[in-house]
Amino acid sequence: MSVIYNSMYYIASGGLILIGLYIVLVKTNLIKIVIGLNFIDTGINILLICIGYIRGKTAPIFSDPRIKSTSVVDPVPQALVLTAIVIGVAVLALALSIVIKVYEHNKTLNVTKIKGLKW
């Protein structure tokens, strides 16, 4: 039980990344593949935050004079995740616009049927 208690967040983030990879590699609908890319980004963000967590400590905002500098969690992964979330959103927006264009030209979202460029 203590193994699960210590690692359930890692299992969650690793699981999200693997599910996202499975969707991108196996599914054939373009919108599903884009959602899979989003899963991968979410999983990586959760992984980053897990790495910065310390048990029993609180958020790094010194709004209250009682919060000492030894009782806060690591602020750097939170800054990294802010950046990573925004980059993920940007790629998602661009991906959806390209999917709109692909649908306009091919009238289908099935990846196996879009074979304009051959070997």
Partner 1 sequence: MRKIISIIVLVIIAAGFVFTFSQIPFGKDKINVAGYYIERGIKQTGAVNIVTSVVLNYRGFDTLGEVTVLFIAALGLGAVLFIERKLKEGIKDKEDKKRKASLILRTGSRILFPLILLFGAYIFIHGHLTPGGGFQGGAIIASGFLLMYLAFPRKSINKRTSNIIESVSGLVFVGIGLLGLVFSGYFLTNFLPKGVPNTLFSSGIIPIIYIAIGLKVGFELTGIIDDLLGRSR
Partner 2 sequence: MVNPSLLIGIPLAFSFVVPLFGLISKKIEKYIPIVALLINTAISFILIPQVLKKSIVVSIGGWSPPFCINLVVGPLGIFLATLISGVSLLISIYAVAYIKKEPTEKYHMLFLLLVTGAIGIVLTGDIFNLFVFFEILCVSSYALVAYNKDKEGAEAAMKYLIQGSIGSGFILIGIALLYGIFGTLNMADIANKITLANPTFLFISMAFLLTGFGVEAAVFPLNAWLPDAHSSAPSSISAILSGIAIKTGVYGIARMIYTIFNAEGILTFVAFLGLITLLIGEMSAFKQNDIKRLLAYSSIGQIGLVIFALGIATSLGVFAGLFQIVSHALAKALLFLAAGYMIYKVGSKSITSLNGLGKKMPLTSFAFTIGAFSLIGLPPFAGFISKFLIVYAAIQVKKPIFLAFIAIALIATVIEASYFFKIVQNLFFKESKNLKNITETSGYIVIPIIILTISIIVIGIHPQLITGLLKEAASELLGRGGYIAWVLGGS
Give the binding site for partner 1 (CB under 8 A).
Answer: 6-7, 9-10, 14, 17-18, 21-22, 25-26, 50-51, 53-55, 59-63, 69, 72, 74-76, 78-80, 82-83, 85-87, 89-91, 93-94, 96-98, 100-101
Q: What CA–CA distance (Å, rounded) separates 109 from 30?
A: 5
The one segment of 1-9, 54-62, 63-71, 103-111 that binds partner 2 by CB under 8 A: 103-111
Query: Applying CB under 8 A, which of residues 51, 67, 72, 73 lies at the interface with partner 2?
Result: 51
**Which of residues 1 and 117 has its CB atom nearest to partner 2 in the complex?**
117
Note every long-range contact of 15-18, with CB atoms under 8 Å and residues 24 or more positions apart, other chains counting.
15/43, 16/40, 16/42, 16/43, 16/46, 17/43, 17/44, 17/47
Phi (first) and psi of residue 84, to 5 degrees = -65, -35
Q: Residue 27 contacts by C-beta under 8 Å, 6 or more apart in sequence?
A: 33, 36
* Minimum gap (Å) between residue 118 Cβ and partner 1: 18
Structural contact between residues 33 and 23, judged by C-beta atoms closer than 8 angstroms: yes
29 contact choice in partner 2, partner 1, none (CB below 5 to 8 Å, kind-dependent): none
**Which of residues 55 and 105 has its CB atom nearest to partner 2 in the complex?**
105
